[in-house]
């Protein structure tokens, strides 16, 4: 399912602008065999949107917060990579129960595993001779596990954890043979086995990585 979704996104975005030969090359990459090669790792900073509330209570939040991200992965083929990432999603203040001025603090972190489909921009004729020859677009789909803790003044904290899905798309630019820069938008859906703390996160990140 992840391979189908990520491939469909790239085909919809890039395919109409490609020449016939480039379209054939793109399909060959997407359908090519998989092997495990080219490990890589990286880290960066995120601007994370928090949307959450405590079920049955007054606590809610709609805020952006600076946070961090680290990732590592392997290349499966010219078009696909597998990746694991840790998201330190940060903590935000939220309106809490009790008095109108009471505040709670909501803190989240997540681990995500996803499949990434990549499309080199060199397939587009207008990128010839520019820095975009070493750039690519990509889409990701996968699963995450998130831990959330919400503390209230004078009350016991609420904790919840559970699985969620993760979707994303981004831009990747190579610098030399090994280093690369990423700019990415991701969405980590609602999670929680008990749904005592109902939260979703949208990280917008800039990261640096290196291939080994």
pLDDT number for residue 193: 53
79 vs 75: CA distance, rounded Å:
8
pLDDT of residue 32: 75
Give the whole-angstrom CA distance, residue 56 versus residue 209. Answer: 42
Q: What mean pLDDT do residues 194-208 have?
A: 81
Least confident of 118-122, 150-154, 184-188: 150-154
Q: Which of the pair, 154 or 65, is modelled with greater confidence? A: 65
What pLDDT score was predicted for residue 145?
A: 94
Residue with tokens 């680290």: 70
Distances (CA, A) of 149 to 102, 103, 110, 209: 17, 14, 12, 30
Give the pLDDT band (50/70/90) at residue 165.
very high
**CATH no., domain 2-211:** 2.40.160.20
Identify the weakest region by mean pLDDT among 3-7, 72-76, 116-120: 3-7
Question: pLDDT category, 41, cuts 50, 70, 90?
Answer: very high
What mean pLDDT do residues 174-189 have? 95
Give me 23's structure tokens: 């379209």
Residue 86 contacts residue 75 (beta carbons within 8 Å): no
Residue 54 has pLDDT above 70, yes or no: no
- pLDDT at position 89 over 80: yes
12 close to 152: Cβ distance less than 8 angstroms: no
Does the pLDDT value for residue 52 go beyond 90?
A: no
Predicted TM-score (pTM) of the model is 0.80
Q: Tell me which residue of 205, 123, 115, 108 sits closest to 162, measured CA to CA.
A: 108
Each residue of 127-144: pLDDT tens digit? 777 888 899 999 999 999
Tokens of 173: 């630019």
d(CA 51, CA 202): 9
Judged by DSSP in three states, 200 sits in strand
Q: What is the pLDDT of residue 53?
A: 60
How high is the pLDDT of residue 88? 95
The pLDDT tens digits of the residues spanning 97-112 come to 544 456 778 888 999 9
The number of beta carbons lying within 10 Å of the beta carbon of residue 158 is 20
Average pLDDT, the chain: 82
Q: H or E stretch including 7?
A: helix 2-14
Strands 135-152 and 155-175: antiparallel
């Amino acid at each position: 399912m992840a391979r189908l979704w990520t491939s469909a996104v790239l085909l919809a975005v890039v395919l109409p602008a490609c020449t016939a030969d480039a379209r054939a090359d793109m399909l060959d990459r997407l359908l090519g065999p998989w092997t495990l090669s080219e490990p890589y790792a990286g880290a960066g900073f995120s601007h994370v949107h928090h949307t959450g509330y405590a079920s049955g209570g007054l606590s809610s939040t709609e805020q952006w917060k600076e946070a961090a991200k680290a990732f590592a992965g392997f290349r499966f083929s010219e078009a696909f990579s597998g990746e694991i990432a840790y998201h330190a999603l940060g903590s935000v203040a939220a309106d809490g129960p009790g008095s109108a001025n009471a505040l709670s603090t909501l803190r989240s972190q997540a681990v995500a595993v996803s499949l990434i489909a990549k499309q080199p921009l060199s397939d587009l004729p207008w990128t010839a001779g520019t820095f975009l020859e070493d750039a690519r677009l990509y889409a990701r789909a996968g699963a995450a596990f998130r831990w959330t803790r919400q503390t209230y003044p004078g009350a016991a904290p609420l904790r919840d954890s559970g699985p969620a899905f993760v979707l994303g798309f981004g831009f990747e630019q190579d610098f030399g043979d090994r280093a690369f820069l990423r700019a990415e938008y991701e969405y980590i859906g609602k999670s929680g086995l008990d749904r005592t703390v109902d939260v979703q996160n949208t990280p917008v990140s800039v990261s640096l990585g290196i291939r080994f």
